[in-house]
A and B are shown apart, each in its own frame.
Chain A
Amino acid sequence: MPMRRSPKLRPNGWDALVILAVVLLAAACAVTVWGRGGGTGELTAVVSIDGREVERVALGSAAGERVYAGNGYTLTVDFEPGGVTVREADCPTQDCVHTGTITRSGQSIVCLPGRIIIQLTGGPADASAPDVVIG
């Protein structure tokens, strides 16, 4: 018996259809997930550990540095006006540190080993919000 089913080995127009479907899915997803972030109110970091929300930190004023522990791992997090950064973590992957600073509503930092999520909500979603206000 040759192959159970011999596949086509050259890409054709139908494959383009699959690609189109994935692109459309990505676009639809982007619109719903990225678009909704907006809203009014202050940019707030929501910290959850193990699926439970443990703290909400308003980023309008600098809240400074805080330490969270989850599942045996410790994260040192910097809260600044307009952004959150995991400065230090003792987890093996360091994904959360590599994420850098998150600044926009909808973005998040995830520490899988520690089961800690820091997610931004509220705040101006668009780039038209000023960095500084005088008056």
Chain B
Amino acid sequence: MKLTTKQLTLCAMLAAMALALSYLENVFPLSLAIPIPGIKLGLANIVTVFALYALGPVQALLILLARCILGAVFAGNMNALLFSLLGGVTAMLVMIILSRLRWLSVYGVSVGGAAAHNCGQVAAAILTLGNTAPLYYLPVLLGVSLFTGALTGLVAACLFRALAHTDLMKG
């Protein structure tokens, strides 16, 4: 595939934003309320949702990988890589599928993505620990994902509205 300079710049910017959002999450760690280490709200999914619609699945995936790897490198924590990768990629796959269902709005897509994100993270916790104990928290996390998904959807919808009349999206 060919990336135009504009697209490449956009990708880099979005990756940087996603990275910033991941850091923001650490300020309000979800794990205070739900004590599973490594569990995140998934704010960076806003970027994934946006990139998915604005640029396409391949670009969105690239941004996701860049965000996860850079995030883990900066944090110096390779444990976190598995968590963000599994969470992020699962969310991504579910959102790619859901976004093809044209009748779903951005809210439905991001709620599905958030739920998948949490499933992926629980899977990562199970893998890391070699124990199914974290499954105990999945129902709670799925409940939480309804709210985080709605939040992500709202932010993404605002973004699209604001950017619809700019030429940012134009090739």
Contacts and interface: CB of A to CB of B under 8 A. Distances in A.
Are any A and B Cβ atoms less than 8 Å apart in their complex?
A: yes
Interface of A: 1-12, 14-15, 17-19, 21-23, 25-27, 29-30, 33-34, 48, 50-52, 93, 95-96, 98-99, 106-113, 115, 117, 119
A108 B67 CA distance: 31
Contacts, number: 142
Nearest to B101: A14
B35 A95 contact: yes
Q: Is the interface of B mostly helix, strand, loop or mixed?
A: helix
B129 A29 contact: no
Interface in B60-90: 79
| Band of interface residues on B | 35 or more
A18 B104 contact: yes
A22 B142 contact: yes
Given A7-B109, A18-B111, 11 more contacts: A5-B53, A7-B99, A9-B106, A9-B157, A12-B105, A14-B101, A22-B112, A23-B146, A26-B142, A110-B36, A110-B125
Contacts of A9: 105-106, 157, 160-161
A14 B143 CA distance: 18
Q: What's the dominant secondary structure at chain A's contact region?
A: mixed
A11 B143 contact: no
B37 A110 contact: yes
Contacts of B128: 112, 115
Contacts of B38: 112
Contacts of A1: 169-171
Nearest to A30: B139
User: Across chains A and B, which 9 residue pairs bring their CB atoms closest together, nearest first?
Assistant: A51-B130, A15-B108, A112-B37, A26-B142, A30-B139, A8-B105, A108-B133, A99-B35, A18-B108
A7 B105 contact: yes
A11 B160 contact: no
Given A7-B106, A15-B111, A113-B37, A33 B136 contact: yes
Contacts of A26: 138-139, 142-143
